[in-house]
Amino acid sequence: MFNSPNPYQNSGSYIDLLKRMTQRMQQQKVDDQLLEILQQAFEKELNAENIILSRPERARLFRQVTKAIWTDMLGKFDDKK
């Protein structure tokens, strides 16, 4: 009985790995999952604060909060170097 060949044995360069990992994460819709988590937390906090906003205000605030969180997260990645 032969062992099946290791599909990652000659997986290529770091760039190839980056492309494959990015593609897999996109196929799993990780970005949508993260946005859903942020949206749920955002709505929970608005409800806890008993804040009522118009749809445009709510959308604008969500975009700004999300951008601030992503910026902070990216900064943390840069700090780890």
Is pTM beyond 0.75? Reply is no
Q: Where is pLDDT greater, at 32 or 6?
A: 32
> Which residues have C-beta within 8 Å of that of residue 55, sequence separation ≥ 6?
none
Q: pLDDT above 90 covers what percent of the chain?
A: 72
Residue 11 pLDDT level (bands cut at 50, 70, 90): low
3-state secondary structure the chain: CCCCCCCCCCCCCHHHHHHHHHHHHHHCCHHHHHHHHHHHHHHHHHHHHCCCCCHHHHHHHHHHHHHHHHHHHHHHHHHCC
